[in-house]
Amino acid sequence: MVGHHLAHAVLLTLLVISGCGHALSMPTSLTSSSSPPIGRVLVTGGAGYIGSHTTLELLKAGADVVVIDNLCNSVRESLARVAELAGCACDGSDGRLNFRECELCDPAAIAKVLDEFEHFDACVHFAGLKAVGESVAQPLRYYENNIVGTLNLLDQLAARECFGFVFSSSATVYGDPDTLPIREDAPLRATNPYGRTKLFIEDILRDANIADKRWQTLILRYFNPIGAHASGRIGEDPTGVPNNLMPFVAQVCVGRREKLSIFGGDYDTPDGTGVRDYIHVVDLAKGHVAALQRLAAARAGSKPPVGCTAVNLGTGSGVSVLDLVNGMAAATGKEVPYAIAPRRPGDIATCYCDPAFAFELLGWRAELGLTEMCEDTWRWQSANPMGYELPAPDDAPVP
């Protein structure tokens, strides 16, 4: 145990030297209920999968939320259901949740939204294109949308002196890791245009903090979010063929897809399939709340500034593709048809994080396991077999 804490003390020092963060006092207990109020938060991409779950957790934590989204990969219905679950108005009439359709590549559109409200205490930035394969085929589109959109957003926030920022990054910035578990000081080397947009934006945020210490930024590197809200009212609703494993499995289970293709059955893993660090989306959403509470504590002077600090959000445990398939079989009560296919270029055998720094800095840790991830996914998918906008057929499975 002593060695563990020493290792993370060294990590903090390395983060300072590398420009990824600043030495901080490290809480040893979970976030206190007496944390300063979060205030009003701008959430970009808040109608999407992670954004909608985070918006709900922010509302439950007492924040006022303004969501902006261009709806290219999301629908407004998700926010109507968030309002329902949070017990607030979906039209902004009570001031708790407001939505504005907005394109981040249009700075005038961002300015119009920001000027409509008196002030913002912080911003959570989810908005961005995120399909790896699509990014390889359309790199310029990804660089323009993700990087130019972020630059526009930062410029407009700075003009209004909103310097609290939480960025939705990804474990893809680590590429094929040298060692496991992955810590925040691991080498950064994205292997596709999507990952490079995340890495470039991280560099932009670090440079912004160096130039102006008013910027207080937490970069949250997600591992593999899955699951849904336990109510079954909100969940992942990808457009077209899912790019990620869990929504594809869920669509197989509900009859929208014939079978799952597992890419690679001969990896050096316990069952031959790839191993990843899957995290329940509600745990991930609560990680954003903890990040914003940490920024609020810094604003209030009760905790030191965070500078620009990167934090892994994951469970620290690896789950194989077959583990997940078997978990969904248990949740649904029926086998999941699958076939082993050749490996895909660029895929790696195993990837999972060391989540200790998130607990030390934010007082956050993942609490939900594979059982909840699978059961909540099935509750969402079986109640909404065609997603948000299409009605369920008469013969839809009963959750």
Give the pLDDT confidence of 42-61 residue by residue, as tens digits.
Answer: 999 999 999 999 999 999 99
Report whether 282 contacts 235 (CB < 8 A). no
269 has pLDDT over 80: yes
Q: What is the DSSP string of 234-292?
A: S----SSS-SSHHHHHHHHHTTSSS-EEEE-S-SSSTTSS-EE-EEEHHHHHHHHHHHH
Q: Which residues contact 246 (CB under 8 A, 6 or more apart)?
A: 226, 227, 236, 278, 324, 373, 377
Q: How far from each other are the two terminal CA atoms of the chain, in whole angstroms?
A: 44
What pLDDT sits at residue 12?
A: 43
Mean pLDDT on 185-195: 94
31 has pLDDT over 70: no
The reply to whether omega before 345 is within 30° of 0 (cis) is no
What pLDDT sits at residue 397?
A: 40
CA 344 to chain CA mean position, Å: 24
Residue 311 phi/psi, 5-degree rounding, is -140, 130
SS3 content of the chain, % helix, strand, coil (to 5): 40, 15, 45
Query: Domain coordinates of the chain in residue numbers?
Result: 26-226+279-316+353-366
Q: What is the DSSP string of 72-133?
A: SS--THHHHHHHHHHTS-SSSTTSSEEEEE--TT-HHHHHHHHHHSS--SEEEE--S---HH
**Confidence bin at 110 (pLDDT 50/70/90):** very high
Nearest one of 170, 225, 215 to 194, comparing CA atoms:
170
Report whether 221 contacts 183 (CB < 8 A). no
29 has pLDDT over 60: no
What pLDDT sits at residue 390?
A: 58
Rounded Cα gap, residues 267 and 350, in angstroms: 9
Active-site residues, by number, are 194
H or E segment and range at residue 157: helix 149-159
Instruction: Name the class of domain 26-226+279-316+353-366.
Output: alpha beta
Q: Which residues contact 138 (CB under 8 A, 6 or more apart)?
A: none
pLDDT, tens digit, 9 for 90 and up, residues 282-331: 999 999 999 999 999 999 999 999 999 999 999 999 999 999 999 999 99
Rounded Cα gap, residues 236 and 355, in angstroms: 24
Rounded Cα gap, residues 328 and 263, in angstroms: 18
Rounded Cα gap, residues 32 and 290, in angstroms: 10
| Average pLDDT score, the chain | 90
